[in-house]
Chains A and B, each alone.
Chain A
Amino acid sequence: MQHVRAHVLICAGTGCTASGAAKVEAALREELAKKGLDKEIMVVETGCHGFCEMGPLVIVYPEGTFYVRVQPEDVPELVESHLYKGRIVQRLLYKEPVTHESIPNYNELSFYKKQMRMVLANCGHINPEIIEEYIAVGGYEALGKALTTMTPEQVVDEMKKSGLRGRGGGGFPTGMKWDFTRKAAGDKKYVVCNADEGDPGAFMDRSVLEGDPHRVIEGMAVCGYAIGADEGYIYVRAEYPLAIKRLRIAIKQAEDLGLLGENIFGSGFNFRLKIKEGAGAFVCGEETALLASIEGKRGMPRPRPPFPAISGLWGKPTNINNVETFANVPQIITKGADWYAGIGTEKSKGTKVFALTGRINHTGLAEVPMGITMREIIFDIGGGIPGGKKFKAVQIGGPSGGCLPTELLDLPIDYDSLIQAGAMMGSGGLVVMDETTCMVDLAKFFLTFTQAESCGKCTPCREGTKRMLEILTRITEGEGKETDIALLESMAKNIKTSALCGLGQTAPNPVLSTLRYFRDEYEAHIKEKRCPAGACAKLAGYQITDACKGCGLCTKTCPVAAISGEIKSRHAIDQSVCIKCGACMTKCPFKAIIKG
């Protein structure tokens, strides 16, 4: 066997595949063969690094050089210069948005420096389609340890001690849930992995399944042992074909090696896994709807109790956890609960993966310890707001969550602090907004989503969200009434307390939290028929600010004579006359006219 001196890692996640990674890989293999380097250099397809916006990503080891936006045309130079002569191709390196510095090494990127990649440790660094690569970095040791040195009770205790809480949204203590299911009466039990991932903007579960599927499988198997289940289901939305493909390969490989199946590690424990593809309705992520969907029924929630731990799949005790929750399990078993509990805050342990989207320089996935502040996530890791714009708020927890304004940027983030601030961890989707985002419009956006996804089973959610949406729509169109804010608030409270499932119970959250922090914006829409962010098309107006020097240029420019004012004093626009042509704004030499 030839000694392999270099590894070229090509990201084959969904993001990089979309930007052409497969063509780059083909070009690379061809070029290496042409130069006779194909035996000494190994090309490795990996999963997502969470930096998809910069894809296709290529990393060259042993140096660890990080190349971004690599195109097939770049490949000959990459091979000749770096792989043949050992010279880094400067122009393909990542440049920091603020300092414009070229960063050659993965670990030195500001995007990765403040992260603590535990769940994502292997994503982007191993080939997810080769089980040996997972085993080489310590894979399946947790399962081996649990099955051969621990009793199921000890596994449950370890999980309890670790303080891990469910990453699917609610933050329920995982060890406690396992304990309920373990103690539930019945011989037949199930383990279910929730990979429905319905939040708009969230893609952490997909990345874990694509980049490190064995970690989830191992976590589920440990759970099966702990609760006494011999069968598990992974419920994945059909829109995730790559995740499904990698899972199928991973399950097959694990079966072939005897890591799934009968008598695993000679312990007498049997465990099998099946994949169930979901149609991708948001409500199917709710656990009771999800279980109904696996059973082949319509994905509709049912009242709880009974909880799935007592009566789940086909009426049997069922432990359901999120992808990221299961992905945390192997390291807790191998490194111990005490180690894990040392990371994070008093009541929220470990790390959380966040998906950064919206008005932020580095969109992507960031895994950080609990207790980090939003400022660190958005400015240190996310690189701040593009285009010199000002930060306004961040929506956390998707349509079930709420927003945090500038004043809360230094709040240490964990499950409880977010609830107190009127938001929610949710799945960890972060949508960053700058000064040009209208908060009423934002609330409308999320409510439109939940409204469309409501399954229609109960009235408060079905009808209530529709009414709230109508009110929000009329406010953004300048038709809002003085009583609308109070009406929104009382409807929100009613829906929250009377809806059947979490979808309805949380649907009003974006409205309540924007009302809490940006009430003045609602009032400006209603009373002054003005959108301060200048985002609502029907309300967009022009305003003259204090910067006005009274030069009079705008008066001459306005085609409908909407501007008046004494020379050398501040001018004003008569909004009832203004036709919003914007001519005055471009003319003003002092930038005194703004949209909003």
Chain B
Amino acid sequence: MDEARLLMRSRAGTAVIAWCLVWALPDGLAAEPEKSVAQLSALEQALADLPSEDETKRERAILVLIEQGDASFLPRLDDLRANADRSLRLAIKPVADLWRNRANLTDPDADTRRSAATDLGASGRILAISWLEAAAAKESHRWVRYAMEESTQLLRLASDDPAVKVEAAAKLGELRSQNAVPALKELVQAANEPSATDRQKTVARAAAAAVERIETWNVWSTAIETLFRGISLSSILLIMALGLAIVFGLMGVINMAHGELMMIGAYATFVMQECFKAYFPSAWFDAYYLAALPASFCAAALFGLILEMTVIRILYGRPLETMLATWGVSLVLIQAARIYFGDLTAVAAPAWLSGGAQVMVGVFLPFNRLFIIGLSILCVAGIYALLFRSGIGLRVRAVTQNRNMSACLGIPTRKVDAYTFAFGSGLAGIAGWALTLVGNVEPGLGQNYIVDSFMVVVTGGVGKLAGTIIASLGIGGLNKLLEPSLGAVYGKVLILVLVILFLQRRPSGLFAIKGRHADA
């Protein structure tokens, strides 16, 4: 085993060195570790010349530094830069950047490697091709390798040989390289000049083909991203509307303070974060977000329970009155939060939810959005199980359908009401918990979503989970679909119009309760 591994490693090592040699030689570079004395002194000389007033001397020095230097000169360059004047700083910067990027190509952090590769591609230094190819050969991360290949081809596009250019353009088209579009377009433009040569025209044809390929891909990737954003917005709406659908659909209670229950969930998350900052070792900090899940659920549920017992219980069967009273409660809660927490409170997303996954070229899916989508699926599954596959759910549904009969059969209907309401409120808390990932925590938080989520409930039909899910997907998706062309405001206007037109055909929503509900 060990022998085999050693063998492999040494083989890989030789291959890499061979690569380096092959690619380093045309640029006139010697193998790196052994720099000749002459080169070292030339570098020393260049470093000494760099601050000189003489422009040509300075330029020559920069050229020498670019061609012969390496990352070990960075500290000295930085020293120089620290007390240089503006023009010298500007002169040093590209050199330092070049070498820093080269050093970063082997950085342990993938993002650093990636941005170094991209920067090198944008630097336009032909000699970077060899470094990029050497690094790409060793690279295991898919998207870093992609960036390295892209940069290599981008640099080749600037070569003098039209054959290399054509090949590079084709390759870039194959890579669907977003960064190459300006350069490619420039090549196409150049061929349109009257003085254009046949060679330029050949190159331009290849470039035009590549541009077309990239732009077709852009349409697709934008579509995929829009779809994804639509789904993630729908998920937030869905989690909110689920809680509403339970209290509204099952109990006939319009809870205008639902958005503020969400706010309570969000502030519970914030409080948990502060607790972890204050009382736990910093290594545990990221766990706060998980700890905040039960906290936000319980805080919102408890508050919902209190609300049910003090206000809503008295108003069962009078939805309009409930609406007004709960709106009053929401006003009080918003102002209380504003006075206690101030106007804006930020919750830092835990490290394991920051960043995202790139699934295709140009398609980047942030983890927090993925997380919210997953959460909403979990919530739906949980509610389904609870309502339709458990004894508690059976009681809830029984009370919904026929309160008196249920009471006669010994179901404590008041208790069921209270717990159902508390559960719906807890769901709002979870929605608030999830919302902290995508926005600020502010007192008006719930107000932004309440109208939308009520529209979801109304469109979906009362008391139907499937309706709520479909309506939130539809409204959230439409929102994101219309936003780019109409803008957020007019998109919303159009959605309201569509909802009203939809209600013309189906006055009680997508899934109406069937039966003779003459005057509910």
Q: Are A and B bound to each other?
A: no
Residues on A close to B: CB < 8 A? none
Interface residues of B (CB under 8 A from A): none
